[in-house]
Amino acid sequence: MRIVLRFLLTLALGAVCMAQSTTGNLLVKTGSLIFDTQQAPMANGQVLIQNGRITAIGQNIQAPAGTQVLDLSSQTVMPSLLDAHTHLAAGSFGASPSDPLAALYGSRDVAYALASGVSAMRTLGTSGFIDVALERAIDDGIIPGPHMVPAAHAISIPGGHGDFLTLPPSLPLDDYYIPVNGFINSVADAEKAVHLQVKYGAKVIKIMASGGVLSPSDLFTSEQLTPEEMSKIVEVAHGDNIKVAAHDENLKAIRDAVHAGIDSLEHGSDVDQGVLDYMKEHHQVYDATIYVVDNILKNGEAMHMPAFSLGKARQLSVKHFASFTMALRSGVTMAAGSDQAYGPGSGTIYNEVVSEVEHGATPQQALTDATQHNAALLDLDQLGTLAVGKEGDLVAMSGNPLQDIHAVAHLTAVVYQGKVIKGAGR
């Protein structure tokens, strides 16, 4: 009862006033409407959403009788953000639940993402094809959640990034280190791994081109996949019209991955101008994931992260932030990914855009990365801007995020496919 009363009070404080709908239509009244992050906002703009799609944008819209009204006339309204790099929480840090239990945790995570104002999330590495199952459950209306672009298992090597198995070598491991689980040892394995992820529902392929921070036995200075393996993965994935995202932390592995033809560079902690020029020429996207590094540096000990992860993050951060600054100046197309697992209370893409601005991006750049650029990268053209014919996904806040990016930390409303998901207060 207390939770219900608190939620109703929050609605009142957020000035969210709604009339009962009898038509399935929603009219959103705004104080300032950012319909496109690269255009000037519209004062007192209104958005009419019918059957989940935007049918009118303007001022003084005449809505059909019985239309639900969401009065945000003291608020700034903008498109919901998309997250280009996420994972799924599976209990406490370091837990290894069964696939069925992990799927239940995942259903909680995607609901949290939706309530947090995330209209789409690309999950880049999940065991047991859990992200594929969640995507289908959301699409079938079984559970609430945003649009999902699942990668299934990330493609790595035994002992590489993403390998958290700590069993001794005396135990039989041959049934675990196999392509269907994302582990490869050859070009032939690489081809098979892609085929199997796609067969079981992957919509993007994630590769671990280098080592990383969180898993115990890899170094971010190492190159895990050979150039030949990466080229084969890209060839096979592109043959299925599926993009390839590459986790990459050191310059050699980054060079080999971009020359193999990947579509997005994740983290990109050690780029140089030659890499950035090549990416611009070949329309590849740079996804820096700034917030996750910030968060580990500030809160890693409080989150009880292992000492090896904290040490690697501190060592990597200097090059990581410098690479982000270089990428900003280069004009390469940038996406925005939080690299968060979306356990309730964790960071989201809204934290990512704040971190991008704190490290040199303008609010407009960061918000464009998380809307239009992410929508293009995820092949979700119906998202990213508010326009007639597009999906009715939007968020509201008290301040103007184009002037002060910290306004996104205090959402007062979330609308998804024309339905009010949350009235106020993240």
pLDDT for position 425: 35
Please tell me whether residues 358 and 409 are part of one structural domain. Answer: no
> Is 53 found in the same domain as 93?
no
Pairing mode of beta strands 411-416, 419-422? antiparallel
CB 352 within 8 A of CB 290: yes
Distance CA 96, CA 178 (A): 19
Q: What local confidence, expressed as pLDDT, does residue 18 receive?
A: 39
d(CA 59, CA 365): 27
Same domain, 51 and 87: no
The answer to whether the CB of 50 falls within 8 A of the CB of 27 is: no
Helical H segments across 20-128, by residue range: 99-115
Residue in 353, 391, 388, 420 with CA at minimum distance from that of residue 79? 391
Can you give the C-alpha Rg of the chain in angstroms?
22
Same domain, 285 and 392: no
Instruction: Specify whether 208 is located in the same domain as 321.
Output: yes
- 3-class SS of residue 298: helix
Strands 334-335 and 394-397: unpaired
Q: What one-letter code names the amino acid at 255?
A: R
Give the three-class secondary structure for 65.
Answer: coil
Which amino acid, 219?
L
- Beta pairing, strands 394-397 & 411-416: antiparallel
- Tokens representing residue 106 in the block: 């995942």
Same domain, 128 and 177: yes
Please give the pLDDT value at position 219. 78
Q: Do both 252 and 234 map to the same domain?
A: yes
CATH code (residue 265): 3.20.20.140
195: Cα within 13 Å, side-chain hemisphere: 10
Structure-block tokens of residue 237: 């994935």
Expressed in percent and rounded to 5, the helix, strand and coil fractions of the chain are 35, 20, 40
Enclosing H/E stretch for 358: helix 349-358
- Number of compact structural domains in the chain: 2
Report the alpha-carbon distance of residue 189 to residue 200 in Å, rounded. Answer: 16
Structure confidence at residue 5 (pLDDT): 30
| Confidence at residue 308, expressed as pLDDT on a 0 to 100 scale | 84
Q: What is the DSSP letter of 16?
A: -
Among candidate residues 377, 392, 411, the one where a domain is terminated:
377
> Could you tell me the residue range of the domain that residue 237 belongs to?
81-377
pLDDT per residue of the chain (426 residues) written in tens, 0 to 9 = 333 333 333 333 333 343 344 468 999 999 999 999 999 999 999 999 999 999 999 999 999 999 999 999 999 999 999 999 999 997 666 678 899 999 999 999 999 999 999 999 999 999 999 999 999 999 999 999 999 999 999 999 999 988 877 777 878 888 899 999 999 999 999 999 999 999 999 999 999 999 888 777 787 888 999 999 999 999 999 999 999 999 999 999 999 999 999 999 999 999 999 999 999 999 999 999 999 999 998 988 888 888 888 888 888 899 999 999 999 999 999 999 999 999 998 999 999 999 999 999 999 999 999 999 999 999 999 999 999 999 999 999 999 999 999 999 999 999 999 999 987 433
Same domain, 201 and 128: yes
384: left (phi over 0), alpha (psi -120 to 50) or beta: left
Looking at the fold, whether 279 and 205 belong to one and the same domain comes out as: yes
Phi-psi region of 295 (alpha: psi -120 to 50; beta: other; left: phi over 0): alpha
Q: Are residues 52 and 92 in the same domain?
A: no
Rounded distance, CA 296 to CA 305, Å? 8
**Rounded-to-integer distance, Cα 95 and Cα 147, Å:** 26
Q: Which of 406, 286, 405, 299 is nearest to 346 (CA)?
A: 299
CATH of the domain at 10: 2.30.40.10
Residue 12: per-residue pLDDT: 33
16 and 143 in a single domain? The answer is: no
**What is the chain's length?**
426
What H or E segment, with its residue span, contains residue 350? helix 349-358
Indicate if 57 and 115 belong to the same structural domain: no
pLDDT at 404 (0 to 100): 98
Task: Classify residue 301 as exposed, middle or buried by CB count within 10 Å of its CB (0-12, 13-18, 19+).
Answer: exposed
pLDDT attached to residue 211:
86
Q: Which of 290, 395, 383 shows the shortest CA–CA distance to 340? A: 290
Rounded to 5°, the CA angle 134-138-141 comes to 140
Q: Give the count of beta carbons closer than 10 Å to the beta carbon of residue 413.
A: 26
| Pairing state between β 25-33 and 46-50 | antiparallel
d(CA 210, CA 203): 22
Q: Which of 104, 123, 93, 16 is nearest to 398 (CA)?
A: 16
Q: Helices in 206-339 by DSSP H: which ranges?
A: 227-239, 251-260, 273-281, 290-299, 307-330
Residues 6+ apart with CB under 8 A from 231: 260, 261
Sign of CA dihedral 277, 124, 406, 31: positive
Strand arrangement of the beta sheet that strand 264-267 belongs to: 204-208, 243-248, 264-267, 285-287, 334-335
